[in-house]
Amino acid sequence: MKSSNEQKLGEAIKELLETYKLEGKLNEAKALQAWEATAGKIILKYTKSAFIKNGKLFLRIESSVIRNEILFSREKIINEINISVGAETVREIVLL
């Protein structure tokens, strides 16, 4: 028989994330991983930095060809990242 203070590990982690307001940061980390998976090795080779702030994915890309490809594929990339994360974490891509 379960005592009243027992709960599943997943529930406890979710409660912890909500209590300390860490869910957003966790989603941002997941979104960066999703960017790496979505971009692939060639694009990552030309990506010098990537970070998320206020729903914007900031990318520093060295290749003008890759920059243009990302500009044309922005919406698709955003959708793939958000689907992978399971939340609307990225709303915009900013190229630096």
Q: Which CATH number applies to 23-95: 2.60.40, 3.40.50, 3.30.420, 3.30.300?
A: 3.30.300
Q: What is the pLDDT along the chain (96 residues), one digit of tens a residue?
A: 456 677 788 888 878 777 777 788 999 999 999 999 999 999 999 999 999 999 999 999 999 999 999 999 999 999 999 999 999 999 999 999
**HSE value, Cβ hemisphere, 13 Å, CA-based, for 52:** 21
What residue ranges do the domains of the chain occupy?
A: 23-95
Rounded CA-CA distance 86/24 in Å is 12
On whether the CB atoms of residues 93 and 81 are closer than 8 A, the answer is no
pTM, rounded to two decimals: 0.80
User: For the stretch 36-66, what's the b/e string if a residue is b when 16 or more beta carbons lie within 10 angstroms of its beta carbon?
Assistant: eebbeeebeebbeebebeeeebebebeeeeb
Q: What are phi and psi of 73, to 5 degrees?
A: -105, 15
